[in-house]
Amino acid sequence: VTSTARSLLSVDGVRFMYTSLIPSFMGFTAVGLLIAAMIGAGVAEESGLVTALIRKLVIVSPRRALTFILVFVGILSSIAADAGYLVLIPLAGVAFMSVGRHPLAGLAAGFAAVAGAFTVNMLIKPLDAVLVEFTNDAIHLVNPDISIDLTSNLWFSLVSVAFLTVLITVVTERVIEPRLGAYTGEKPADETGGPLTKEESRGLKLAGLALLGVLALFALLTLPSGAPLRDPQTGAIVGNTPFMTGLIGFIMTAFLATGAAYGLGCGKFKSGKDIIKAIEKSLSSLGGLILLLFIISQFIAYFNYTNMATILAVQMADFLSTANIGTLWLLLGFIVVVGILDLLITGAIAKWAIFAPVFVPIFIQLGVDPAAVLAGYRVGDSPMNAITPLNAYFALMVTFCNKYDKSAGVGTVVALMLPYVIWLSILWTALFAAWYLLGLPWGL
């Protein structure tokens, strides 16, 4: 090992902490990525676009495919911060009751989809930007020449969404509903839902046109030979290219355009001032997270300064190599550790800020693709969200259940969600192991 440990309590260490306070935070690109993503996603959520899309999809769902579509929409709803929890879950209970099925089963399916599969999606979302940036910062502790892109887990996420949709559907219909039996209670008086208004339908049409416009614009900037977003030397679109480097800009533009179009179409936004207010409201909600990112940026800078990441990674890698355990078993153990810790620390960002600087360098030294480590973290982080009372939305789930069962409490929800947690933890981990053994690409 050529690196030597450096103390933060030395003269040079104290000087570094004092002078690097602002540079460390300003150089922490996760902040910029998060703000850019939330400008678009915030407008889409504040305009009501996400809520309207969820309601529309539930309304048009065929009866036999109701569970599948609810679960699928629930997983996708994590693109917006609260829409899945506040809209999809209670709407799932209403939808199940409307077709004569037990509403608690609908609530359970919705909660399993939104919370238990939170870290994967078919779309790139703000969380991905932060997790990828944390991963890159951890990679650079041992190899500054390697980075992963926003789409580094895309293929695994796409397959996981499809796999988890089927799995949660099967658990709901084959395990949860038979156990609950027929619902004999009364329908709550304060149910929401119903068909979309003419204004909301017009807003969705305008949002669709806006999306087509954005796609056409970026197609012109990307697809033709010599287009500005292609690689100027090779002409490639995917890889280390302008398009992929600035992918967060495409995501922001798409959500901003569709959200603004919906808001103007349905009457939620009257002018550009309302759109700006929506952006301001969205960004104002990031105050606590930005404070957390400030603290994390200092932690990473200090950890990097001490050279502990390099020393720990090399020593641990040497030990694990001689132990001959096998990288797959180490990854599976990593998933288990993440899952256990998720019972206590539910925030995906906070946990990855702790784990990434330690585990990513270790696995790199063992020859494991950093994208595989991030994919393993996604698997370990999600399922336990559906069962831990420390989840900020767990109490909300208890409240939803109380509408249909006055005796429902924490124990009721834990018992309801336990089958999901068990099956998701086992089979999703098995999917990860199979993916790793087959050597499939994790993403672009």
Q: Is the pLDDT reported for residue 320 higher than 60?
A: yes
Report the pLDDT value the prediction gives residue 392, as an integer from 0 to 100: 78
- Angle subtended by helix axes 198-222 and 247-266, to nearest 10: 150
Q: Is the pLDDT reported for residue 100 higher than 90?
A: no
Please report which confidence band the pLDDT of residue 414 belongs to, taking 50, 70 and 90 as the band edges: very high
Average per-residue pLDDT for the chain: 88
What does the alpha-carbon distance between residue 249 and residue 40 come to, in Å, rounded to a whole number? 9
Considering the chain, what percentage of its residues have pLDDT values greater than 90? 46
Report the pLDDT value the prediction gives residue 188, as an integer from 0 to 100: 61
* CB 207 within 8 Å of CB 259: yes
Report the pLDDT value the prediction gives residue 1, as an integer from 0 to 100: 44
Please report which confidence band the pLDDT of residue 113 belongs to, taking 50, 70 and 90 as the band edges: very high
Higher pLDDT, 302 or 258: 258
* CB 180 within 8 Å of CB 78: no
Helix or strand run (H / E) with residue 284 = helix 272-284
Report the pLDDT value the prediction gives residue 25, as an integer from 0 to 100: 87
Give the pair of three-digit tokens for residue 410: 């924490």
pTM above 0.85, yes or no: no
* CB 89 within 8 Å of CB 111: yes
Closest CA to 81 of 231, 229, 286: 286
Please report which confidence band the pLDDT of residue 190 belongs to, taking 50, 70 and 90 as the band edges: very low
Q: Is the pLDDT reported for residue 192 higher than 60?
A: no
Q: Is the pLDDT reported for residue 417 higher than 50?
A: yes
* CB 355 within 8 Å of CB 401: no
pLDDT in tens, 49-88: 878 887 887 778 788 899 999 999 889 888 765 667 877 8
Per-residue pLDDT, averaged over 17-22, amounts to 92
Per-residue pLDDT, averaged over 353-372, amounts to 90
Report the pLDDT value the prediction gives residue 59, as an integer from 0 to 100: 78
Higher pLDDT, 114 or 194: 114
Return the minimum-mean-pLDDT range out of 208-222, 287-301, 362-376: 287-301
Higher pLDDT, 35 or 239: 35
How crowded is residue 236: how many other Cβ atoms within 10 Å of its Cβ? 12
Alpha-helical segments (H) within 307-345: 308-323, 327-342
Report the pLDDT value the prediction gives residue 194, as an integer from 0 to 100: 65
Q: Is the pLDDT reported for residue 290 higher than 50?
A: yes
Higher pLDDT, 50 or 428: 428
How crowded is residue 401: how many other Cβ atoms within 10 Å of its Cβ? 22
Report the pLDDT value the prediction gives residue 377, as an integer from 0 to 100: 96
- Specify the 3-state DSSP secondary structure of 442: coil
* CB 256 within 8 Å of CB 39: yes
How crowded is residue 365: how many other Cβ atoms within 10 Å of its Cβ? 20
Report the pLDDT value the prediction gives residue 390, as an integer from 0 to 100: 84
Considering the chain, what percentage of its residues have pLDDT values greater than 70? 94
pLDDT in tens, 234-255: 888 877 788 878 888 888 899 8
* CB 139 within 8 Å of CB 370: yes
**C-alpha pair distances (Å), 148 with each of 120, 138, 328, 372:** 17, 11, 20, 11
What does the alpha-carbon distance between residue 175 and residue 198 come to, in Å, rounded to a whole number? 39
pLDDT in tens, 223-234: 999 899 998 888
Please report which confidence band the pLDDT of residue 443 belongs to, taking 50, 70 and 90 as the band edges: very high
Report the pLDDT value the prediction gives residue 418, as an integer from 0 to 100: 96
Q: Could you state, in order of their start, the residue ranges of all structural domains in the chain?
A: 48-196+307-438
Q: Is the pLDDT reported for residue 211 higher than 90?
A: yes
Per-residue pLDDT, averaged over 277-282, amounts to 90
What does the alpha-carbon distance between residue 313 and residue 291 come to, in Å, rounded to a whole number? 28
pLDDT in tens, 375-393: 999 999 999 999 998 887 8
pLDDT in tens, 145-154: 899 988 999 9
Q: Is the pLDDT reported for residue 433 higher than 90?
A: yes
